[in-house]
Structure 1
Amino acid sequence: MNKLSSITTVCLLSIGLLAGCSSSKTESTATVAPTSSEVTPVSTSKVKKDITLTYIASQDWVKDGEMKLAKKFEAETGIHIDYQIIPADQYTNILKTKLNAQEAPDIFGGQSGKSDIVTQYNVEKNAVDLSGEEWVKREDPLSIEQASVNGKVYALTVWDNTGSWIINYNKQIFQKLGLSIPKTYSEFKSISQKIKDSGITPIYEPISDGWHHVLWFPEIGPRFEEVTPGLTDRLNTNKAKFADDPTMLLALTQLQEMNKLGFFGTNAFSDTFADTEKNMASGKFAMTLNNPSEPANIEKAYPEMKADNFGFFVMPLADNQILNVNPAAPSKFIYSGSQHIAEAKQYFAFLAKQENLQAFLDSEPKFSTLNFPNLKDKFTPEQKKFFETYKKAGTVFQTSINYLNAQWMDIGKELQAMLGSTSTPADVLKSIDKKRESIAKAAKDPAW
C-alpha cells in the first residue's frame, strides 16, 4: 500500500522504545488550545499554519484515500499529518501505555464501542468532546452511539457500515461442483468436503495475524441471541456466562471440526490476511471470510479475476442465517492533552466534508458505502442480491456484549490453541468469562 513519505511505520520490539514513537510538535501560532470540555469552532482562516499533527493508528485502519486527503488538507492549511502505523498485535498495549503516561499523540485511532471506549481508552479523561462539531449531525446515529459516553461524542468514524464479515465464495467453483449456498452447518460441512475432495482448499483462513480467525465466533452473536432471547442483557448484567451457553459451545466445536477436517488447508497457521487477494484470485481456495467489498479488491489486484465471480452468504455455524452487523469501527479520537486541539478538529471537519467523503469512498476498493448520507454507493448486483436475501440482521457480540472486544487478541490465542487441539471449546469460553470478570471489576462495574 502506498503511503505518504512522512509516514513512520512503527514496529516496536519493547515498551522501552515507546518514547521514540512520540513525535515532536511545532508550536502553533494560534491561541492556547482549550480544554477537552470546551467546543472549539473550526477555523475559517486562510492563513496556513506550520504545524504537524501526529496520528497513531493500528495496521489497516488508515486507508490510502485518507492519506491522499491529508495531502490536500496540508496544501490548503499547512497542517501536516504524521501517521504512525503500528502492528495490530502491539497497538492496544502501546496506546494504553502512552495514554497512561499522558504522552499520547494529537490523534489516536481506536475501535468504537460503548463499553470499549471507556474501558480501553477512558475517553472521558483522554479524549476531546466532539459533540458540538457539525459532522456529528450527519454521521449515522448508530455509529455516533458507539462513540459516545454519557451523551457526549468522542470520536469521528468514517467507515463502511455495511462491512459485515461474511463468506465470499467463488461461483465458478461452486457451479463446477454443483454446489448450492448452505443454510445449515451440516450443509456447509458437506460442500466443504466436496470442495476438498476435488483438490481445492475449501476456506482461506489466515490464522497467523492473530485476529481474523476470531471473527467466526462473536460475529454470529445474533444467532446466540436468537436461540436464547435475552442472552445479551443477561451477559451484560452478569446473570449469564459464556461457558454455560450450549449454542456458543456448539459453534466453537464446529469451528474446531472445520480445521480438523482440513477445510482451512495445511498452511492456515502461517497464512496472512495480506495474501487474501492473491490466494483467492489463484483459484486454489473456494471461500474466505471477508467484507462484501472484497471481490472488488481482488479484481483490482488481479484483473483477470472479476469481482462478479464471487457471491456471498452468512457464516452458517450453529445454523446461523442472520446477517451480522457491526456499527462500531476504527475511529479517530483527539487526545485531550494535545497542544493542537483546534487544528485536529479542523482536520476532522475536513475529512467529513461531503466532497471529501465521496472522494474517500471512490478511492477505497474495500468500501461500498460510508456511514454518512447522500453518497453514491458502489454496491454490485451480487451485493444487492445478498442484502435482499438476508433481511434479518443483528448486532455482533463484540459490540453488544461488554468486555468482549477488549480481549480480542487474547481470544485469538485461545482459539489458536483450540484449533491446534491443545485446548477445548469449553476452555475458550471459560477463559472469556474469566477475562470479562477481570475487566468488569477493574471498571468497577456494579454487576460484578
Structure 2
Amino acid sequence: MRFRQLIMLAAASLVLSACSAGSLGSSDDEGGEVSLSFLVDNSEDGVRIGERLAKDFTAANPAITVKVETRPQGTEGDNLVKTRLSTGDMTDVFQYNSGSLFQALAPQKNLVALDDAWTGQLDENFRTTVSSDGKVYGAPWGGFIAGAVMYNRAVYAKLNLQVPKTWSEFMANNAKIKAAGTAPVIQTYQDTWTSQLFVLGDFHNVSAAEPDFAEKYTKNQAKYATSAAAIKGFQHLQEVHDAGYLNKDFASAKFDDGLKKLAQGEGAHYPMLSSAISTIVANYPDKAKDVGLFAIPSDDPARNGLTVWSPAGVYIPTSTQGAKLDAAKKFLAFIASPAGCASTGAASPPVGPYAVKGCALPADVTQVAKDTQPYLDRQGGSSLALEFLSPIKGPALEQITVEVGSGIRKAADGAALYDKDVRKQAQQLGLEGW
C-alpha cells in the first residue's frame, strides 16, 4: 500500500456499469426535472459515498436525479479527468483531488467558481486547497486525515502516562514504556512508505516556527538541511533509533504488522496517517477503542499542533450550464451541509473531522477521530501538509527516511540528500529559482 492510497482510502476495485451516453450530459427532462451525472473514483468507499449522496440528495430534491459514474484511480484516473475537461466531455459534477492536483486542472478556465453562502462554512484548511486567486471551486469529499502519532491508550493508562506535547516529554514516555517491556515506537520499514511520518507529519511544527517555509521552499530559498525547524523530522527518526526505542523487527515489519502491534499493545506509538484506524477497526474491532492519536510533539508546547491532509473536492466543470448548473450548485451545497456530512458518514464511517462547520462527528466514531477534532477546533491548532502548499516532494524521501531511521545515515546527511532529491522534480516543473 502506498502513501497516497492510504490517504484516499482506495482499497477496492468495485466498478459500476457506466451510465448510458444519453444519461450523461443529456438535456433536462420534460416537466422541469433535471438529471445530473456525477463522476467518482471506483474505490469501494468512493462508490458507496457517491451513491449515498445521490440517493439522499434526490430524496430531498425530487426534481433532481443524480446518476453516478466511476473512473479509475491513480494516474489513469488523473489523465481521464484532464482529458474530459479539455474536450468539454466532463460529467455535470465530479470528485477529484484537492491541493496541487486540483491546481493542475486550471480551475479558472475549467471549473465553476462558487460564491454561495455555504462556502463561508468551510474549514480554512480545506478552503485553501480548493481555491485559486481567492475563489472557491469545491465542496469537501469526506473528512480530514492527520499525520500524527497513533498510540495505545491502554499502555498509557497502565503506566499512568500523559499525552506529550513536547519532544522531551515524548522521549521521557518512551523511556518508561521501554522499562516496562513494551516497544516504545513502532516502525515498519519493509513497507518503506510508512517511514515518512516523522518528517511529513511534523510540518505543522515547521510552519509554526517558520510561517513562510513553504513559500521559500518552493522558490529554492529554504532547505530541510539548513532550516532549524524542518530538519527536526529527520532528527526525530535518528533519535528514536539511537535510543533503542524501536521494535526489534523494525527493518522487516510491514504496515499490517505495525497495526497489529499497536492494537494489541505490543508497541505504544506508531507514527502514521490517521486513516489507518479503518484497518484496525476491520481487523481488531475489540481493540480499536484502545487506539488514540496525538500530534507529532514539538519544542514549544504552546505551538504544538496537527498536520492534516485535506479531503478531496467535488467540482462543477464549466461545461455544466443552464438548469443543470443550478442543480449542480444545489448538490454541492447539500454535500457541504450537516445533512451531506450525515449522508457521507452513513456510507462510510468518518476517520477524521469534516471540513464543514456545524458537521459533528457521530457519537460512535473512533477515538482517533475524536482525538483529531480538538486540533481543528483550536485556532492555530492545525496546518496543511506541505504537499498542499508546495508542488515539490522528492521521490526518494521514503528510502532516505528508512536509512536515517535505521541508523544507516545521520539526520543531517539525510536532510541534505533529500534537498538534492527534490531539485530534479522542481526543475521538471519549471519552478522559478531552480
TM-score, length of structure 2 as denominator length: 0.71
Taking the aligned partners of 1:63 and 1:269, their CA distance within structure 2 comes to 35
Matching residue within 348, 366, 372 for 2:356: 372
Contact 1:361 1:370 in 2 (8 A): no
Mapping of residues 200-349 of structure 1, within 5 Å: 200-206=182-188, 211-228=193-210, 230-259=212-241, 261=244, 263-266=246-249, 270-272=253-255, 278-289=260-271, 302-305=284-287, 307=289, 309-316=290-297, 322-326=304-308, 328-334=310-316, 342=325, 347-349=331-333
* Residues 110 and 332 in structure 1, CA contact (< 8 A), matched pair in contact too: yes
Evaluate the alpha carbon distance shift between residue 202 and residue 331 of structure 1 in structure 2; reply closer, same or farther with a 3 A threshold: farther
Q: Retained in 1: the 8 A contact 2:71–2:77?
A: no
2:68 corresponds to: 81
8 A Cα contact 1:292 1:383, kept in partner: no
**Which amino acid in 1 is paired with 2:240?**
M
Q: Deviations over 1:237-256 (max 9, x none)?
A: 43322232244334303213
CA positional deviation for 1:46: 6.6
Aligned counterparts of 2:253 and 2:313: Cα–Cα separation in 1: 29
| Aligned: 1:68 with 2:56 | no
Deviation, 1:291, is 6.7
Greater shift, 146-155 or 331-340, is seen at 331-340
- Shift in CA distance, 29/100, structure 1 to aligned 2, threshold 3 Å: closer
Match of 1:140 in 2: 123
Letter in 2 for 1:359: S
Query: In structure 2, what residue type is equivalent to 1:94?
Result: E
User: Could you report, residue by residue, the CA deviation over 1:319-372 in whole angstroms, capped at 9, with x for unpaired residues?
Assistant: 776112437332234566789985866654453354232232356444454222
CA contact (8 A) 1:164 1:291 kept: yes
Match of 1:412 among 380, 398, 413: 398
Read off the aligned partner of 1:157 and give its amino acid letter.
P
Moved more, 296-305 or 276-285: 296-305
* Residues 385 and 439 (structure 1), Cα distance of their counterparts in 2 relative to 1, 3 Å cut: closer
**SS across alignment from 2:269:** strand
Shift in alpha-carbon separation, 1:345–1:26, aligned structure 2, 3 A: farther
User: Per the alignment, do residues 98 and 319 of structure 1 end up closer, same or farther by CA in structure 2, a change over 3 Å counting?
Assistant: same
Superposed CA RMSD in Å reads: 4.8
- Residue identity in the other structure for 1:202: P
**Which residue type is aligned with residue 80 of structure 1?**
K
Q: Deviations over 1:391-435 (max 9, x none)?
A: 75352451574223xx27653344234445565544543454446
Give me the whole-angstrom Cα distance separating, in 2, the residues matched to 1:295 and 1:409.
Answer: 26
Offset at 1:217? 1.2
| 1:117 aligns with one of 86, 97, 102 | 102
Letter of the structure 2 residue corresponding to residue 8 of structure 1: V
Q: CA deviation at 1:134?
A: 6.0
**Aligned partner of 1:26: which letter?**
A
Distance 1:46 1:383, change over 3 A: farther
Q: Which residue, out of 343, 361, 366, partners 1:359?
A: 343
Shift of 1:173: 1.4
Q: What is aligned with 2:391?
A: 403
One-letter amino acid matched to 2:41: I
Q: How far, CA to CA, are the matches of 1:232 and 1:286 in structure 2?
A: 32
Aligned-pair CA distance for 1:147: 0.7
Alpha-carbon distance in 2 for matches of 1:187, 1:29 = 57
CA distance in 2, matches of 1:202, 1:121: 43
1:186-236, CA deviations, whole angstroms, 9 ceiling, x for partnerless residues? 443343354345443333445566544323213322323444565445334
Distance 1:428 1:44 in 2: 64
- The alpha-carbon distance between structure 1 residues 201 and 145, as it changes in their structure 2 partners (threshold 3 A), is same
**Is the 1:195–1:202 Cα contact (8 Å) retained in structure 2?**
yes
Per the alignment, do residues 361 and 52 of structure 1 end up closer, same or farther by CA in structure 2, a change over 3 Å counting? closer
Residue in structure 2 matched with residue 149 of structure 1 by the alignment: 132
TM-score with structure 1 length normalisation? Answer: 0.69
Q: Are the equivalent residues in 1 in contact too, given 2:182–2:268 (CA < 8 A)?
A: yes
- 1:110 touches 1:331 (CA, 8 Å); kept in 2? yes
Mapped to 2, the partners of 1:335 and 1:428 lie a distance apart of 43
Q: Counterpart in 1 of 2:15? A: 8
Amino acid of the structure 2 residue aligned with 1:415: T
State whether structure 2 residue 160 is matched by structure 1 residue 160. no
The 3-state SS of whatever aligns with 1:164 is strand
